[in-house]
Structure formats: structure tokens, C-alpha cells
Amino acid sequence: MVNVASMTDRNEWNRRVIEEFRANHGKVGGTFEHMPLLLLHHRGATSGVERVNPLAYRRVGASVAVFASAGGQPSNPHWYYNLVANPDVTVELGEDRYSARARVARGEERERIWRDVTSVLPVFAQYQERSGRRIPVVVLDPT
């Protein structure tokens, strides 16, 4: 994934990915060409401002799981803390848009999802090794 230097660069990069996602019915090229992406709408933990992040996902039954990898950075991404504080979210998946509730997967559920995603997208195992932390798995259950 792209290593962005500043929040401004990251916001611009996210904006471009979001525009491409919407213009191409959920498909994105470049770095994400073969990666399943969704757009996650969430509220800032302290600001309450709506944010949108493009995230890789993996289907888990009727739900989807996302991964707080931050590209292998040593700390969790901001969106993770926003979901913990404000778990009611909106998901854009392809051309579908729906409400969901976020929850952090624990125990065997987390391990099962993690094994699945790293078998298909091994870059997540690399992110976990590089980060030195256990990457949280967040399940988005449709509401």
C-alpha cells in the first residue's frame, strides 16, 4: 500500500480512491486493482464529523470484516477508534449502500477471519509483522 507522509497527503489520496471507486461501480485500479474495497462512513470519536475511508474487506457470512492495519504502522488507524466510540456506520460496497454496526472480533472469530484474509491477501500478515502489534479485525454487521 502507499505510504503517505502527512494527513493532507492521506486525505487527498483517499479522496482520489473514493472518486475512482464511485466512478467505476466499486472498482479501483493501481495499488488496489485486485483487492476488494469498500467505503466506510463513520463519525469522529470526538468531533462527530463524518469521515469516509476506503478499506480492504473480506466477506464473513452476511457481514464484512475490515482490518485496522494502517499499512503496517505501529498504531491503529484513527478510523478504528472512531468505530469503537461510534459503531453505527454506513458501508458502500460496489453500488450498494447500507447501514451496519461495527464490532471488534475476538477470540476464535478473530483468528478464523485473520487466517482467511491472510491466506488470500498475505500483505496483511506482512503489515502485522511490520507493525509489531496484533491488528484488530472489525466486523460490520448489516442493520
**Residue 17 belongs to a domain with what CATH number?**
2.30.110.10
Domain count, the chain: 1
- C-alpha 89/C-alpha 43 separation (Å) is 8
Question: Is the residue at 130 inside a domain?
Answer: yes
User: Which segments in the chain show pLDDT lower than 50?
Assistant: 1-5, 7
pLDDT of residue 57: 96
pLDDT of residue 41: 97
Question: Is the residue at 84 inside a domain?
Answer: yes
Question: Is the residue at 11 inside a domain?
Answer: yes
pLDDT of residue 43: 96
Contact between 126 and 4 (Cβ < 8 Å): no
Contact between 74 and 141 (Cβ < 8 Å): no
Residue 25 has which C-alpha cell?
Answer: 461501480
Question: Is the residue at 2 inside a domain?
Answer: no
Enclosing domain of residue 111: 7-142
Question: Is the residue at 1 inside a domain?
Answer: no
Kindly report, residue by residue over 79-110, the tens digit of the pLDDT: 999 999 999 999 999 999 999 999 999 999 99
